[in-house]
Structure 1
């Protein structure tokens, strides 16, 4: 599984910054603030995404994407649990796959493999099958939020 230590902080911090988010590094061994899953999984509080060197890249992107797709008034109040609905969850999953292509050394293929290895559950059995064959609603949700990268080819 690809970890933040494998790709460094600079590119993810820059990417999150494009969406008005802050990446806050957490020292090794310290608990991650706002982590829903605990251990090494990314956390979120307001517009800040917290992660350690051992945080999986897919976790960092997923939590950031929850913040990106939610309305700004909710974003300011969010703490730990960002899920609002199944459509929003699907949109976060779709967006994290799309944004993975913008991180050097990551890309959608690697991210989807890591999502499957972690245990994301999709109706069609894998992140790739879902993304390529059943993510129309998620893409429509992203488009409704003005996120232009949804037109990227599969």
Structure 2
């Protein structure tokens, strides 16, 4: 799987400003993460791709109102899959592990169901529109038929239960 930003018309993907920000903030907080809102037009600290893409520094996900929800959840997912000692050291780039990247992609899809008005179907469509590429041709096909390794990794690391629901730290 490889991801890179495609040229998308503004408004074609769901953005932070389109959803209940408090719900996103509360979801991240369940994992000990914070959402830092960056003023419109300002650079996003810790953004790997730049532009409107979310950034990560330590346990903070940085995003603007125009940040795509899939980007916010992806970057949060990177922090969630990391052990606390590694999370504290993150700045911009969270992993070079294929297993962690796959787990992050899977987890962001599952977490979309936790946000009112988002859901996994919309998130997967937005991931495809952005430019994620999976060998089966779409995010939905990957999730349904080629992501068992990511699912198992998340279960083994106690981030998903056996039914595929997120497990939140207590």
What is the TM-score of this pair, normalised by structure 1?
Answer: 0.96
Aligned length: 153
Counterparts in 2 of 1:149 and 1:106: CA distance versus 1, 3 Å: farther
CA root-mean-square deviation: 1.1
Report the equivalent of 1:101.
Answer: 113
1:123 CA drift (Å)? 1.3
1:70 CA drift (Å)? 1.1
1:125 CA drift (Å)? 0.8
1:41 CA drift (Å)? 0.1
Q: Secondary structure at the match of 1:44?
A: strand
1:143 CA drift (Å)? 1.1
What is the TM-score of this pair, normalised by structure 2?
Answer: 0.87
Q: Secondary structure at the match of 2:133?
A: coil
Asked whether the equivalents of residues 151 and 164 of structure 2 are also in contact (C-alpha less than 8 Å), the reply is no
- Structure 2 CA distance for aligned equivalents of residues 150 and 127 of structure 1: 21
Map of 1:5-154 to 2, 5 A cutoff? Answer: 5-149=17-161, 151-152=163-164
- Structure 2 CA distance for aligned equivalents of residues 150 and 122 of structure 1: 24
Counterparts in 2 of 1:149 and 1:102: CA distance versus 1, 3 Å: farther
Please list every run of 5 or more consecutive structure 1 residues that lacks an aligned counterpart in the other structure: none
Asked whether the equivalents of residues 142 and 150 of structure 1 are also in contact (C-alpha less than 8 Å), the reply is no
1:152 CA drift (Å)? 2.7
Please list every run of 5 or more consecutive structure 2 residues that lacks an aligned counterpart in the other structure: 1-12, 166-170
- Structure 1 CA distance for aligned equivalents of residues 132 and 22 of structure 2: 26
Per-residue CA deviations over 1:119-150 (Å, capped at 9, x if unaligned) read 00111110000000011000111112111346
- Structure 2 CA distance for aligned equivalents of residues 27 and 8 of structure 1: 17
- Structure 2 CA distance for aligned equivalents of residues 97 and 70 of structure 1: 17
- Structure 2 CA distance for aligned equivalents of residues 71 and 123 of structure 1: 29
